[in-house]
Amino acid sequence: MDTYLDHAATTPPRPAALAALQQWIGAANASAAHARGQQARTAVEQAREEIARVVGCSPHDVVFTSGGTEADNLAVKGIVWAARDSRRAVPHVVVSAVEHAAVREPARWLAERGDARLTEIAPGPDGRIDPQQVLAAVEADTVLVSVMTANNEVGAVNDVAVLAQALADSSVALHTDAVQAFATRGVDLDTVPLDALSLSAHKFGGPQGVGVAILRRGRAVESLAHGGGQDRGVRSGTFPAGLIAACGAAVVAADADRDGLVERLAPMSARLAEGLTALDGVRRTGPADPAHRLVSHVHVMIDDVDPSALVLELDRAGLAASSGSACGSGAVRASHVLQAMGAVGTPLRLTFGWTSTEADVDRALDVLTDVIARLRAGDAAGLSFAPHPASH
């Protein structure tokens, strides 16, 4: 029997998203002048309007991308490059040290090239970022602050609203990666005024390969892809009407279901965390206060268990979870997030989504109780395993 507790990596598409995908996957080119092209364009623009309504911005602020990675890259590089062109000093950027690689790597790459100066803000031991430390790092030449709404590994939620308030009337652009937060927290730009925000459809019930960059008009952004000038010239490329329509449908469905989802998941994640931390040498990672962590995430550190063997044994038992982070060679090692938090032990992330049930919790507790005991007793089945992608 398979148990899927890796919704933070990808959650299954919702029925409304699948229906929209099927309806529009064969659409004509949405930039074509003929009737079929215009029908496709209507589907794209409807999705844009729905997304804008749900997140609380203007449809003009919505730019479609290939996913969270591109949305993050567009915000970070696009804002820095636009600023570089309009000023003499090298732009300064502040990011948190727990950002997903899709923010961290472009920020570091810009700094290595001399296109930016970079300050990284370390988290507390619970994985949260202190907004006052971020604000204290802002300098006269700071053009961008990027702090994720919620961390993908441990589910720690940051106080982006404090940053938004403090930076509202400044020349500093504030970006947040809300990829993990959208499913259970949502975003509301009406109350939290940000300049840029990233979403990825496959994290909340849409298909893989489509995402959204909210880029407020008035905040200059340099395009990464030059071409036909679609999406106000910020992101060229033929609109993938099927993916975009499905993304719009998923945003609407996830938004409508959010309260119910949180209500369903709260007891499940609490029971899983309780059951796991009742085992010897298993500690929950991340904020203690449920208000400061995603209800979808249960992250633990386990003592005296070989990380590679754990991954292998869980896979053999049909339990899909995430070991945190693995490098290209397949050797599991602590991610930059866990290192920055000073967490010790073998990491394990179990994440819930809209298809999760209480039976998943029962099964996960059974499997983990058994596997941890067996591994500690030296009953490992072997150490070869397929490398997992880096943190997602």
Contacts with ligand PLP, residue ranges (CB under 6 A): 67-69, 72, 100, 102, 148, 152, 177, 179-180, 200, 211, 392
Report, in Å, the least distance between residue 321 CB and ligand PLP.
Answer: 15
Helices 358-376/307-316 angle, 10° precision: 130
Q: Where are the alpha helices (DSSP H) in the chain?
A: 15-24, 35-55, 68-85, 101-112, 131-136, 160-167, 241-277, 307-316, 336-341, 358-376
Q: What are the tokens at 220?
A: 């200059």
**Considering 89, 122, 256, 327, which one is annotated as catalytic?**
327
Q: Judged by CB, which is closer to ligand PLP: 318, or 389?
A: 389
Interatomic CA distance for residues 46 and 23, integer angstroms: 14
Q: Judged by CB, which is closer to ligand PLP: 64, or 313?
A: 64
Q: Is 247 a residue of the active site?
A: no
Q: Judged by CB, which is closer to ligand PLP: 65, or 230?
A: 65
Q: What are the tokens at 309?
A: 């063997």
**186 Cβ contact partners less than 8 Å away, ≥ 6 residues apart:** 54, 255, 258
3-class secondary structure per residue, 335-384: CHHHHHHCCCCEEEEEECCCCCCHHHHHHHHHHHHHHHHHHHCCCCCCCC
Backbone angles phi, psi at 170, to 5 degrees: -100, 175
Report, in Å, the least distance between residue 359 CB and ligand PLP.
Answer: 26
| Pairing status of strand 117-121 against strand 92-96 | parallel
Report, in Å, the least distance between residue 306 CB and ligand PLP.
Answer: 25
On the CB side of 339, CA atoms within 13 Å amount to 7
Report, in Å, the least distance between residue 100 CB and ligand PLP.
Answer: 4
Instruction: Give the residue among 191, 258, 212, 229 at the shortest CA–CA distance from 64.
Output: 212
Q: Which residues of 326-352 are buried (b: 16+ CB within 10 A; e: fewer)?
A: beeeeebebbbbbebbebebbbbbbbb
Find the helix or strand (DSSP H, E) in which 143 lies: strand 142-146
3-state secondary structure of 283: strand
Q: Which bin fits 304, alpha (ψ -120 to 50), beta or left (φ > 0)?
A: left
Q: Judged by CB, which is closer to ligand PLP: 24, or 182?
A: 182
Residue nearest ligand PLP by beta-carbon distance: 68
Q: Judged by CB, which is closer to ligand PLP: 181, or 367?
A: 181
Q: Judged by CB, which is closer to ligand PLP: 48, or 100?
A: 100
Report, in Å, the least distance between residue 150 CB and ligand PLP.
Answer: 8
Q: Judged by CB, which is closer to ligand PLP: 156, or 234?
A: 156
The CA-based diameter of the chain, rounded to the nearest angstrom, is 69
Please identify every residue annotated as catalytic: 327
